[in-house]
Amino acid sequence: MASEHTDSVPVGNPQAAGIIYVQGVPTPETRLVLGGAISVSPMAIGTWAWGDSVWGYKPEMFDDIAATWDALQDGSSGINFFDTAEAYGKGESEKIIGRLLLKNRQEGKPLPIIATKFIPLPWRWRYPSSLVNALKGSMERLGVDVVDLYQIHGPIHLRSIEVVADALAEAVKLGLCKSVGVSNYSIDQMVRMHAALAKHGIQLASNQVEFSLLRRYPETSGMIAKCHELGVAVLAYSPLGMGRLTGKYTAENPPPSGRRFSNYPMTELAPLLAIIERIAKEHNVPMSAVALNYTIAKGTIPLGGARNPDQARQNAKAFGWRLSDEEVEELDGVAVVGDKSLFWQHG
């Protein structure tokens, strides 16, 4: 797994966080350091679709997922980072990754970095026990004795941020996870969590938010800049707009229902998609690689989904080049800013 968490590093300050975003051309060899504790590729594979019925998962799809995993294990892709959650498929995504990690061990292959999440439902209010017990459940499904990055899935906990921070700190101190993060937190919530963890000598590793050409809100709100100021990495979920930015879907062939993030009619996205397609042709890469490279150029780590080896290889083509400032500006001009939501997406 990743390097050991070291108490000798004062991880409550951004200087200890390491390089948390790509400042040049992202390559397969590029590594970023989250929370002063884990070394990750500048892109992760998001695994919501691995085991979840929202994405139409059926058990017979496991072979495709295993082939996707294998395609990313030879090192050439450079991707060593997978993001899951206890809520994905009610734990099925974690179980699938657990099977694949076991396969790596049996074959003597290195283990990638695994991030998972705790969903702070209202009846989970006994901290730290509710969080620690949930983490142990995730560890059992994943088949690991430590989780690399453990995140709060959303700002829906009834207890204060400080109480939740104490629980995350307890998980680190117990050796159950190497680093901790949050997801969907607003700027103010993220700042409070950062400060509360710093009292324990722990650097907040990340804030995972929806960020893409279909939701620039984390940038325009100042979230990304504030995270960088505090040494907090920004993990960008749905960087492909749940498939809408890949070129796979059109007004005549829209995405399946249920893909609720960035849910805009494909007819409204035609000007944006035309520019993505033109830039992709100029760089000789898939449209998905342009969308992912954009999020990297903005200082985030995208979590691109992949359900087959071809999708994984397309994602990896976001490496080895960088959009020019002029191309980024052109994309900004047709991108969607989006907004926050009252319940879930505060950041």
The answer to whether residues 316 and 290 touch, using CB atoms and an 8 Å cutoff, is no
Characterize 231-266 residue by residue with b for buried, 16 or more Cβ atoms within 10 angstroms of its Cβ, and e for exposed: bbbbbbbbbbbbbbbbbebeeeeebeeebebbeeee
Peptide bond into 128 cis (omega under 30): yes
Characterize 131-165 residue by residue with b for buried, 16 or more Cβ atoms within 10 angstroms of its Cβ, and e for exposed: bbebbeebbebbebebbbbbbbbbbebebebeebb
Compute the distance between CA of residue 8 and CA of residue 144 in angstroms, rounded to an integer: 25
Considering the candidates 88, 127, 150, 185, report the single residue annotated as catalytic: 88
What are the beta bridge partners of residue 302? 236
Q: Which helix (H) or strand (E) holds 114?
A: strand 113-118
Largest CA distance in the chain: 57
∠ CA(79), CA(138), CA(315), 5° rounding? Answer: 20
Q: Is 249 a catalytic residue?
A: no
Active-site positions? 88
